[in-house]
Amino acid sequence: TQTDVSPIVCFLSDRDWLRDRVIQWVQKETQSDQVSLNASSASGLLQTYFQTYDNGDSQLDSKEFLRFLKHNETALNLTFSNTLETNLLLRSLCVDALIELSDENADWKLSLSEFINCLTPSFHPPERKCALEDEVFEDGAETRMECNKCVCACGNWVCTALTCNGEHQVVEKIQEGGEDEEMTEEEFSRRVAELNAAQETFATET
């Protein structure tokens, strides 16, 4: 039934897995003979990528971070799910979680220092939890708000957005594309926006 539907979320383990993949990739790139001399360290390489994908405001937003990940998508092999659209959505959600992790001034963008700190191996991400009515819940905990299921993910409550009407629920259906469907960057951004619009996020800082 529709009331059993769970929201698509990026858990702490997903966020940390994405971060570890990128860190490993950066370390391999640093050791590669193809890396130029002015990017011979991990921080230097990250600075080069930051400058490449920054639109000129000296900050990386989620779209620019996603373009950074697509730089070497084959090597990163960022597969969260066996369906294309779920995989793209989870990647987007986990990028948001990574940005939130290191975003010291809460503007949903990363400065160069925040970007480097986010992908520095010595930085240990905190174990974030969710609060609800004076209780604290672990990542992955579930609760309900009327007919909607809510899941604790990376310190935020993420809920389905079903319209509750007595015993009937209405949810907009979004047609799923095939796994082999190729998407342009514009199509990707539009689909992520559509899928995100099908969910309602309740964020509560611990």
Using only C-alpha atoms, what is the Rg of the chain? 18
- Give 193's pLDDT tier (boundaries 50, 70, 90): very low
Full domain range(s) for residue 70? 2-202
- Give 171's pLDDT tier (boundaries 50, 70, 90): very low
Q: What's 23's domain CATH number?
A: 1.10.238.10
- Give 16's pLDDT tier (boundaries 50, 70, 90): very high
**Is the per-residue pLDDT at 189 higher than 80?**
no
pTM for the model: 0.69
Q: How many folded domains does the chain comprise? A: 1
